[in-house]
Amino acid sequence: MVFSSDPYFSNRERFISNLYWSKSKGLVRYEKTDGECWELVEGD
């Protein structure tokens, strides 16, 4: 499931624009308006 920010906030710097949510794992990724992103990585 992807949650997107309200367009009102999307012009701010370093604001989280999208959250990616998994029912089984919770937060798995986010993307910021400045291009930075974080992604859950599973180890072996």
What pLDDT sits at residue 24? Answer: 93
Spatial separation of the C-alpha atoms in residues 1 and 25, rounded to whole Å: 12
* Confidence bin at 44 (pLDDT 50/70/90): low
* Beta carbons of 22 and 28 less than 8 angstroms apart: yes
Domain ranges of the chain: 13-43
* Range scoring the smallest mean pLDDT among 3-12, 21-30, 35-44: 3-12
Spatial separation of the C-alpha atoms in residues 4 and 8, rounded to whole Å: 11
Residue 42 above 60 pLDDT?
Answer: yes
Angle (nearest 5°) at CA 19 between 16 and 25: 140
Reported for 17-23, long-range contacts at CB under 8 A and 24+ positions apart, including other chains, are none
